[in-house]
């Protein structure tokens, strides 16, 4: 029995921040490092949003707001869900928090007891299992491989559900794989969930607007309206509007749950920032026209990165349909040896090798629950991405294969 709780002992520092911190330490030593670990857009927040926040401050919107969002913002979120997702909700179904991450934290803190299970398809965003574990639950991670296009199949979902299952987490487009579920796939998952009435769904749609196919976006509560009473649809302005630092996330869900989330928030952060909310209101009401040009740039970078990585022997990179990450599998590099004699035994060793030898920082797949792989963020300039891929290719060429002479 020490000073620190067992709860905090179950939390690990975020792996993505750790990889970035090591890269920055090398940068500080004067090394030329390209950082591809970033989980945020490299674009600036659009000017009309900044102006709206400035006006809000000048007009006195500098005080606490109602606990889980201003009435104006909640209404704008209802309108957004109706307009873009076909979801009918009223302000009493809406919660607004300090980032989508706080909503995930609020949800699992409010609903997960010791022994409860949360099904999380892997690869997954690093924070889900940690938050579940912190709340005393057990993360049941299900490997969804490149052959499954990194998506949960109905069979795997069925096999993962037990009496203790409380939640299924769906994240489409997915961080880190970029996988996007189609309407048909969500329908099939819904058919399984219909048979298990005790299972709720957290649909993390935060990358909704970052997609590179012409398919219409589908979210599970819309595809399966009869399940909506046990679905939370989570979104935010961080990724779509380049507003990660504004810290505003929001969700729609059943009123009884939304009320409990508000109680927890009232005793933790009191309310999200009034200024952030004014900015989010401008984002959700100001039109999305600028996104087409951003997406064109992301798509162009994606095409370059995936082609360049696929040209490297030992790497296999699926082309992501959404988000701004590529997730190449690197099993073909394992067992090979660096010039210094280090054997690349797992994806952490591969990421370390790229950092040391190529000066390129990526995040090893181990933190995302599906190895051996690594995550490359393409939310950075094309010039840097071209340089980074060329450096990785060169570093891979310098590796001694596992069995010299076998090739
Ligand atoms: N969900 C996913 C899948 C993410 O990648 C992130 C951020 O990286 C978040 C949620 C949290 O977003 P925020 O707290 O900035 O709204």
Mutate to test the pocket of ligand 1, among 99, 121, 203, 269 (most ligand atoms within 8 A of CB): 99
Is the pLDDT assigned to residue 238 strictly greater than 70? yes
Q: Is 212 in the pocket of ligand 1 (CB under 6 A)?
A: no
Using pLDDT thresholds of 50, 70 and 90, give the confidence band for residue 406: very low
Using pLDDT thresholds of 50, 70 and 90, give the confidence band for residue 311: very high
Closest CA to 255 of 92, 66, 78: 92
Q: Which string of b and e fits 13-33 if b means at least 16 CB within 10 Å?
A: ebbbeebbebbeebeeeeeeb
Q: What average pLDDT score do residues 1-12 get?
A: 88
pLDDT of residue 403: 63
Which atom belonging to ligand 1 lies closest to the Cα atom of 125? 3
pLDDT of residue 97: 98
Q: Is 238 in the pocket of ligand 1 (CB under 6 A)?
A: yes
Is the pLDDT assigned to residue 134 strictly greater than 70? yes
Q: Is 175 in the pocket of ligand 1 (CB under 6 A)?
A: yes
Using pLDDT thresholds of 50, 70 and 90, give the confidence band for residue 17: confident
Which atom belonging to ligand 1 lies closest to the Cα atom of 174? 3
Using pLDDT thresholds of 50, 70 and 90, give the confidence band for residue 12: confident
pLDDT of residue 338: 94
Residues 6+ apart with CB under 8 A from 102: 249, 265, 269
Q: Is 112 in the pocket of ligand 1 (CB under 6 A)?
A: no
Q: Is 171 in the pocket of ligand 1 (CB under 6 A)?
A: yes
Q: Is 99 in the pocket of ligand 1 (CB under 6 A)?
A: yes
Mutate to test the pocket of ligand 1, among 96, 132, 239, 244 (most ligand atoms within 8 A of CB): 239
pLDDT in tens, 33-55: 999 998 899 999 999 999 999 99
Is the pLDDT assigned to residue 16 strictly greater than 90? no
Cα dist from 41 to 123, 316, 324, 373, 407, whole Å: 21, 25, 8, 22, 41
CATH 3.40.718.10 corresponds to the domain 6-44+290-397: no
Q: Tell me what the pLDDT averaged over the chain comes to.
A: 95
Q: Is 172 in the pocket of ligand 1 (CB under 6 A)?
A: no
Is the pLDDT assigned to residue 391 strictly greater than 50? yes
Query: Rounded to an integer, what distance in angstroms lies between the CA atom of residue 363 and that of residue 355?
Result: 10
pLDDT of residue 404: 54
Q: What average pLDDT score do residues 363-376 get?
A: 96
Q: Is 121 in the pocket of ligand 1 (CB under 6 A)?
A: no
Using pLDDT thresholds of 50, 70 and 90, give the confidence band for residue 325: very high
- Residue ID of nearest Cα to ligand 1 atom 8: 39
Q: Is 105 in the pocket of ligand 1 (CB under 6 A)?
A: no
pLDDT in tens, 260-277: 999 999 999 999 999 999
Q: What average pLDDT score do residues 81-110 get?
A: 98
Is the pLDDT assigned to residue 1 strictly greater than 90? no
Q: Is 204 in the pocket of ligand 1 (CB under 6 A)?
A: yes
pLDDT of residue 407: 43
Is the pLDDT assigned to residue 15 strictly greater than 70? yes
**Percentage of residues in the chain with pLDDT exceeding 90?**
93
CA angle 218, 219, 223 (to 5 degrees): 80
Is the pLDDT assigned to residue 304 strictly greater than 50? yes
Q: What distance in angstroms lies between residue 30's CA and the mean position of ligand 1's atoms?
A: 31
Query: Rounded to an integer, what distance in angstroms lies between the CA atom of residue 194 and that of residue 188?
Result: 10
Q: Is 369 in the pocket of ligand 1 (CB under 6 A)?
A: no
Q: What average pLDDT score do residues 360-381 get?
A: 96
**pTM for the structure as a whole:** 0.96
Topology of domain 62-285, per CATH? Answer: 3.40.640
Q: What distance in angstroms lies between residue 62's CA and the mean position of ligand 1's atoms?
A: 25
Domain ranges of the chain: 6-44+290-397, 62-285
Q: Which helix (H) or strand (E) holds 31?
A: none
């Amino acid at each position: 029995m020490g000073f620190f709780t067992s709860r905090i002992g179950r939390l690990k520092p975020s792996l993505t921040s750790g990889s970035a911190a090591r890269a920055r330490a090398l940068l500080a030593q004067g090394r030329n490092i390209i950082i591809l670990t970033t989980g945020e857009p490299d674009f600036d927040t659009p000017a009309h949003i900044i102006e709206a926040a400035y006006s809000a401050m000048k007009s006195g919107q500098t005080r606490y707001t109602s606990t889980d969002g201003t009435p104006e913002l909640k209404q704008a979120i209802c309108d957004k869900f109706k307009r873009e997702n076909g979801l009918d909700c009223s302000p009493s179904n809406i919660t607004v928090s300090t980032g989508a991450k706080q909503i995930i934290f609020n949800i699992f803190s409010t609903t997960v007891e010791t022994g409860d299970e949360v099904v999380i398809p892997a690869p997954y965003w690093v924070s889900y299992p940690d938050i579940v574990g912190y709340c005393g639950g057990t993360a049941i991670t299900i490997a969804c491989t490149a052959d499954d296009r990194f998506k949960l199949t109905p069979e795997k979902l069925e096999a993962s559900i037990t009496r203790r299952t409380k939640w299924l987490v769906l994240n489409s487009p997915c961080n880190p794989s970029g996988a996007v579920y189609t309407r048909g796939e969500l329908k099939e998952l819904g058919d399984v969930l219909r048979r298990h009435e005790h299972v709720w769904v957290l649909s993390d749609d935060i990358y909704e607007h970052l997609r590179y196919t012409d398919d219409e976006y589908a979210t599970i509560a819309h595809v399966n309206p009869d399940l909506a009473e046990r679905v939370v649809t989570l979104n935010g302005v961080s990724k779509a509007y380049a507003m990660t630092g504004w810290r505003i996330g929001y969700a729609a869900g059943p009123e009884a749950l939304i009320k409990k989330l508000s109680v927890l928030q009232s005793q933790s952060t009191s309310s999200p920032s009034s200024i952030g909310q004014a900015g989010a209101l401008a984002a959700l009401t100001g039109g999305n026209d600028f996104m087409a040009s951003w997406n064109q740039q992301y798509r162009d970078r994606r095409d370059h990165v995936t082609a360049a990585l696929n040209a490297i022997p030992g790497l296999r990179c699926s082309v992501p349909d959404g988000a701004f990450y590529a997730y190449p599998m690197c099993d073909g590099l394992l067992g090979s040896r660096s010039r210094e004699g280090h054997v690349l035994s797992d994806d952490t060793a591969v990421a370390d090798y790229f950092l040391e030898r190529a000066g390129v920082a990526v995040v090893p797949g181990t933190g995302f629950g599906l190895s051996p792989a690594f995550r490359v963020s393409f939310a950075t300039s094309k010039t840097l991405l071209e340089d980074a891929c060329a450096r990785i290719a060169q570093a891979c060429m310098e590796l001694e294969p596992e069995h010299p002479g076998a090739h």
